[in-house]
Chains A and B, each alone.
Chain A
Amino acid sequence: MVCAACSDGTLGDVRTFDACSPLAVTAPAATDAQRASLAGASAAWASVGVTAIDDTGSATDSVALVFANGSPAEYGFYDGAASPPTITINLDLDDTTRAVAIAHELGHAFGLVHVPAATRASVMNPGNLVVAPTADDAAAISAIWGACAPNAP
């Protein structure tokens, strides 16, 4: 179950995914613009070495991506307790901020927690709609899952 407050900064008891294994992101109801934002988020992670996001259909693990109306202050949410685990993104976001929000929620799916903006610039900064994944974010993922094998995705 998802922790109630996660005041310790952890994600709580939710499902996360090994960044060295292929992960499919399914968004059957997404528009072209929303699919483009998903592609942008995948490319941003790949640019720092995290290449788990797979759209070839070979992945056995998957995360659902949906878009919904909501509070203007709520940009995205990763529900690792749902089945399948679901990423929800605010419909009101524009193309640029939507891609950053998807990248942020994928970071949660890989097990990352928030990084205070005062600590460093990170895609995992709370309320981030600007910062793309960085090398430090990739290093944080490696710290969780270990270094991926050369033939890993």
Chain B
Amino acid sequence: MRLHVMSLLALGGLTSSGVAIAIPDDQPLPSPSEPNVPPPAQPDAPPTTTPMTPTVPTTPAPGSPTTPAVPTTPATPTQPAVPTAVPPTTPGQPVDPNAPVDPNVPAQQPAPTAAAATPAPTSETIIPVTNQYHEYGFYQPVLASSIGVGVTVGGGLFGFTDRAMRESVASDVGGVWDVHASIGTHIPIGLEVGYSGNAANIQSLAGTPNGTLVGTAMEAALRYTIFPHSNWTPFVFAGMGWQRYDVTSQRLAASDTGLKTSDDVADFPMGGGLSFRDVGGFTFDLRGTYRATTGSTLLLDQRTNQFAGLQSWEASAALGYEF
């Protein structure tokens, strides 16, 4: 058995990969310069003779005619590329499928096409796989990690949803900053861990800010990327984490307040967003987050004698890089 490597471009341009094709030993080797068509018989053609012309020109005698340096070969009659056994058809004339078939005339073979010229893969066909990424649904060959591992840094706005907490800060909107590390941004389900911080001025009775409420959260979430391979993709996420609030720079010594100096709660972030991923690896995320929390004892609302909830919303944007 002999193995021959030929370009798939010659076999129809399916791919630029090389293909090794096994050809049985009893089959003649096709010449690369000749079509795979047996030479037509030439029963009546006269034997071709080539005049013996000296390759080294002799010095001609003075006055003798000049001998041409290039030997001339009589032209061989041009042979048709199509076997002569193919019944001739008039171009444009339809072929009658019910016409009787002459057993002495070989059946007409369809014109060779690129697909027909390509042997069907058999157990003897060896096709080296070099560029088959597209066959895997959850694989991004551009990225070194193949699945997308990235880090983003961003910031935005946040606010509390509980009325008592909203009334306890100087503004309904505070600042938030966060860092996220994601594994699997180019597969449907990925993991995201993050740090998030926020700050808001505490409202005082005198109308001036009295201290700062600083929140810190460490969270992990599952992220569902809806279009894993697209540059633009929406995503949703949900998870859980730990959140701590500290009251800083407050004149606590001279005030009677239901605000504790700190509190720890479990939080459950959930939300969605839109992500853009540049081919160079840069990313840009817009996201909205709602954080549900477990019971908090940070702030006692004297009107209801109940502790306020620390549920919050967040709208943020982030820049990052993935590989």
Contacts and interface: CB of A to CB of B under 8 A. Distances in A.
B299 interface: yes
Nearest to B298: A73
A126 to B, nearest CB: 7
Contacts of B250: 5
Q: Which of A68, A72, A104 has the most CB of B within 10 A?
A: A72
A80 B168 contact: no
Interface in A74-103: 74-80, 88-90, 92-93, 97, 101
Nearest to B248: A5
B203 A71 contact: yes
Given A75-B257, A75-B302, A70 B205 contact: yes
B101 interface: no
Contacts of B256: 75-77, 101, 104-105, 126-129
B203 A70 contact: yes
B207 interface: yes
Contact of A71 (B168, B253, B260): B168
Interface stretch (A6-14, A26-34, A47-55, A132-140): A6-14
B205 A2 contact: no
B210 interface: yes
Nearest to B259: A73
A129 B259 CA distance: 13
Q: How large is the interface on A (under 10, 10 to 19, 20 to 34, 35 or more residues)?
A: 35 or more
A108 B254 contact: yes
A113 B204 CA distance: 19
Contacts of A72: 164, 167-168, 258, 299, 301-303, 308
Interface in B253-308: 253-260, 299-303, 308
The prevalent SS among residues of A at the interface is: loop
Nearest to A4: B249
A59 interface: no
Contacts of A35: none
Nearest to A107: B256
A126 B207 CA distance: 21
A3 interface: yes
Contacts of A105: 256
Contacts, number: 121
Q: Which of A12, A71, A78, A88 has the most CB of B within 10 A?
A: A71
Given A70-B203, A72-B301, A88-B206, A77 B254 contact: yes
Contact of A74 (B255, B260, B308): B255
A5 B255 CA distance: 11
Interface string B202-229: 1111110011000000000000000000
Contacts of B248: 5
B300 A76 contact: no
A4 B251 CA distance: 6
A127 B168 CA distance: 14
B302 A93 contact: yes
B302 A73 contact: yes
A74 B205 contact: yes
Q: Which of B169, B258, B301 has the most CB of A within 10 A?
A: B258
19 contacts: A2-B251, A11-B254, A12-B253, A68-B207, A71-B204, A72-B168, A72-B258, A73-B301, A73-B302, A74-B168, A74-B257, A74-B258, A75-B302, A76-B256, A79-B254, A80-B254, A126-B252, A126-B256, A127-B300
Enumerate the 9 nearest inter-chain pairs by beta-carbon distance, A residue then B residue, closest first.
A6-B253, A70-B205, A71-B168, A76-B256, A73-B258, A71-B203, A77-B255, A127-B258, A75-B256
Given A72-B302, A92-B302, 15 more contacts: A3-B251, A5-B249, A6-B252, A69-B205, A70-B205, A71-B204, A72-B308, A73-B164, A73-B257, A73-B301, A74-B210, A74-B255, A76-B255, A77-B206, A92-B303
